[in-house]
Amino acid sequence: MQGKLIATEQQMRNYNRDNQAMFTVITDGRNWRFYLSSAGGEFSRRCFKTFDLLTDDLEEVETSLSAFLRKSEIENARQKAEDYLKLNQIQRTAEDCLPEARRKISEPPYPSLPASLVSLVCEKGFSITQDEAVKFIKEADERKPPVPTAYQTTPTPTPYSDSRPESEKKTGKLALIAGLAKAGNTESQIAAAVKEEFGPLNRHTTYIVGREWRRVNKVGRHFGSTARVHVKPVNPSENSPAKYVSLAGRSAFIHELRDTGSNWTAAWQKIRAKYPGSSISRCKAIWERLARPSKVANPIN
């Protein structure tokens, strides 16, 4: 019933606009809610009695049902409902005022909590005694949910977990990438080392790896030099350092071979000897491009 209570109360409010009943009852068979239809304010605040057939005292439930539903008691039922409703309004007002009352006891003239609560409730137009205030404060304290005990939990270790601050991790990652690039590592080797230290690489980290490698090796037009291609040694068993091929220098060499009248087979042997690791398809594409006759514009008649 709780999930549909608001909608049901609005429906009951609309029913009572044209033909107002003395009482309105909302129930799902177990939970019962009684409303004084003629009371003012929001319909939810017109509720003056609630009970649960399974958990509440059955004698009290029987008394409530007899008081508000038995025909012989209907004449006195309205006054009882008004008394219940007023009591509920006082309780709600005291509940609303209690936080302010707790604050006031720490300020001059330092009243007691019951006295402060009585004063605030009276300002709202209701009257309660000191004993009633004490009773309400005790009931409010009993209704407070217990504060859960805070337990320190040990974080579950996960792969690539790193407890360092984010700024420190970023600085350490960049330093590692730059250091590996200066040491002559390839991009794939740098990426593998960064993954092992900091976890899987995202797109930004992958870009940083490539950027730092190109910056250290002065590769690419953004770093003010002709692009160079990293080439592995021809013999994998050799421990010689990796060599670099100047694309501009290789193209000029192919151009020179073409101009001297060499055929492609002989030229390729010379290119491979001077620039080991070069791609035959790329070199031949340069060779064939040089062989094409240049286009000459048609003379104007």
Q: Are strands 31-36 and 23-27 parallel, antiparallel or unpaired?
A: antiparallel
Structure tokens at 228: 């160079």
> How do the residues of the chain divide into helix, strand and coil, expressed in percent and rounded to 5?
60, 10, 35
Per-residue CA distances from 222 to 62, 209, 214, 226, 242 (Å): 89, 15, 9, 10, 23
* CA 192 – CA 194 distance, rounded (Å): 6
| pTM, entire model | 0.35
Q: Which residue has the tokens 């960049």?
A: 174
Q: Is the CB of residue 43 less than 8 Å from the CB of residue 12?
A: yes
Helix, strand or coil for residue 35? strand
Q: What parts of the chain have a pLDDT lower than 70?
A: 1-3, 143-171, 219-248, 290-301
Cis peptide before 276 (omega within 30 of 0): no
Structure tokens at 290: 């040089």
Q: What is the pLDDT of residue 64?
A: 84
Beta bridge partners, 25, equal 34
Burial of 17 (0-12, 13-18, 19+ CB in 10 A): exposed
Q: What is the DSSP letter of 201?
A: -
Q: What is the pLDDT of residue 23?
A: 85
Among 270, 273, 274, 268, CA closest to 286? 268
Among 44, 9, 57, CA closest to 65? 57
Q: What is the pLDDT of residue 139?
A: 80
Beta bridge partners, 218, equal none
Q: Is the CB of residue 277 less than 8 Å from the CB of residue 245?
A: yes
Q: What is the pLDDT of residue 90?
A: 83
Q: Are strands 23-27 and 243-246 parallel, antiparallel or unpaired?
A: unpaired
